[in-house]
Structure 1
């Protein structure tokens, strides 16, 4: 009996010690569970990528591809595919709308600077009415600058989120480097000179141009 009692006592003590040991342990997540996905996502820096290619690729491409707004828009209304092949990105996804690189030059006939989504309406043919609406930020709609580039393709990106962020980064960089420096007062009657891109959208009052370069002349 004493041997049996000794063995029983020893077994109970070992079980108790094991229970204490387990209670003192913490289950730690593996590195992949802690944020492997977010680490991969953070590797893509859309703002840095846009800054890297802006002067070396984006501006030269737009300067070479863009046509006068009146010419591009007339052709786009007649044959979007033909205009897109000449003034835009012929490698675009088949279900995406055509986007056109343009030069807009003319007189500002109206301005909206009260909203964060600021715009100027520009008369390019001298008839006194607006032909194009140019975004001057700081908030800007769409991804026309990204979509006009034939060296930027959706399949080059890991996912749709990265592609969307890249499109927004073009607008943010244009605002930081160009549009934020434009005057905001007494714009009507001044001249505007813009290099940018636009997409034809249904129900749109005026073509909405997103600038990559923009100048506003002095007060008349």
Structure 2
């Protein structure tokens, strides 16, 4: 014989149990509250004049002297002109002063450069980046007060390195000549990374002066 009792009380009990077992989580509003927004360009701008340039001015050595030591004893050169707090698997980066005559310039590329003869033999000794595109993160890597562990992840650290290059272009080369550079004098404070197979050491500037046409 069929049981004609209504089944809705049973369904109500089951539904009540199911709802009790569920958690209703609020949808994130997207409001980060008081969390700081990572802004590498602003971070670099805030430390450039106060910390970056003074540090390089104090740390840098003449290019000829630094590079000669770097080629024979990178660790000794790094202890004196580099960042001893660098990551163990990273190459040495050195703070240098480059002064001499511009003997060649490539301003057709976005990654423009000028080649500088620092010892007067008529041959280029260093290649200085003048942007607007700049390779590498030599400025960031030369500073002993910048540590990878201070950043959330590798992406933020990389963006911070690129921000140094962008600020150098804005602060320096927007005001300097780009035409007829050959034969002019150049005076640069910057940094370069010691890499194998380099044609010329690639210097990223933090300060730069270009003389008048000869």
TM superposition score normalised by structure 2:
0.86
CA apart distance, 1:77:
0.6
Structure 1 residue matching 2:174: 3-state secondary structure: helix
Runs of 4+ in 1 over 6 A off after TM superposition: none
Instruction: Find out whether 1:63 has 2:54 as its counterpart.
Output: no
In the TM superposition, 1:67-146 aligns within 5 A as 67-146=61-140
Instruction: Find out whether 1:164 has 2:158 as its counterpart.
Output: yes
Any idea what the Cα deviations from partners look like across 1:23-69, whole Å, max 9, x if unmatched?
xxxx997218x687xx96x7111111111110110000000000000
In the alignment, is the contact (CA less than 8 A) between 1:138 and 1:180 conserved in 2? no
Any idea what the Cα deviations from partners look like across 1:61-119, whole Å, max 9, x if unmatched?
00000000000000101100100110010111111100000000000000000000000
In the alignment, is the contact (CA less than 8 A) between 1:88 and 1:101 conserved in 2? yes
In the alignment, is the contact (CA less than 8 A) between 1:111 and 1:188 conserved in 2? yes
Within 1, Cα distance between the matches of 2:170 and 2:82? 24
The structure in which a higher percent of residues are helix is: 1
Q: How many residues align?
A: 200
Structure 2 vs 1, CA of residues 29 and 137 (structure 1 numbering), >3 Å: closer, same or farther? farther
Instruction: Find out whether 1:201 has 2:195 as its counterpart.
Output: yes
Structure 2 residue matching 1:152: 3-state secondary structure: coil
* Structure 1 partner of 2:206: 212
Structure 2 vs 1, CA of residues 116 and 155 (structure 1 numbering), >3 Å: closer, same or farther? same
Instruction: Find out whether 1:44 has 2:41 as its counterpart.
Output: no
CA RMSD of the aligned region, Å? 2.5
